[in-house]
Amino acid sequence: MRARDPLVRVPCLYHFTDIRNIPHIRKHRGILCTASLREKRYEFVAGGNDWSREQDQRFGMDRYVHLCWTDGHPMEWHIRQRDADIRIIYLQIDRSILYEPGVLFTPGVANAVGMTSHSIAEAVKGEMIDFEALYENIGSLKEAGPQARRQKAERAEILVPERVSIKFINNLPNG
């Protein structure tokens, strides 16, 4: 009997962006990585600060589209603190993207010093993805233990090389 694929627990993934980027996503038939946007000199509203973008570039993380597990990523708060005009939208990304070639998992924020990246198969086999903290009731999130565990799981990232095709975006608004 085959073991159950733990990725079926993932309802969808998310990419958060400013609503002003939606016309560009439609025009380019998907979400482009920041390296491509920069190389093509496309205007876009960036969520990260200068330091974060420099770190992404330094570690090659700008060659990936960053996805998160939930529609409330911890970095959103920091972005809102820096930019009062930001209008965040969470795009739902079909979980089937996890099976695409070259997709990676990082157990924390991808551009952190010393962060490791792993294939999705390695992450699943090594039980690096805390599905329980992400998708089940692990206790009161007002308590330090469950809250810290949930936040750690939410900081983990999925990295998609170069672009996320529009075919994977489930809720792209008109615009």
pLDDT tens for the chain, 175 residues long, are 445 899 999 999 999 988 989 999 999 999 999 999 889 887 766 666 666 777 888 888 999 999 999 997 777 767 777 777 778 899 999 999 999 999 999 999 888 889 999 999 999 999 999 999 999 888 776 777 888 898 899 999 999 999 999 999 999 987 5
DSSP 60-105: TGGGEEEEBSSSS-THHHHHHHH-TT--EEEEEE-GGGGGSTT-EE
Pure H helices in the chain: 22-27, 34-39, 50-58, 75-82, 120-125, 131-135, 144-155
- 38, 43, 44, 46 alpha-carbon torsion, rounded to 10°: 60
Q: What pLDDT does 146 receive?
A: 85
CA-wise closest residue to 17 among 61, 74, 76: 76
d(CA 151, CA 90): 18
Q: What pLDDT does 1 receive?
A: 42
- pTM for the predicted model, two decimal places: 0.89
C-alpha pair distances (Å), 70 with each of 40, 61, 102, 120, 164 = 30, 20, 21, 17, 17
Query: Could you say which DSSP state residue 5 is in?
Result: -
Backbone CA torsion sign across 133, 87, 172, 48: negative
Q: What pLDDT does 76 receive?
A: 74
Q: What pLDDT does 73 receive?
A: 74
- Interstrand relation of 13-18 and 118-119 (parallel, antiparallel or unpaired): unpaired
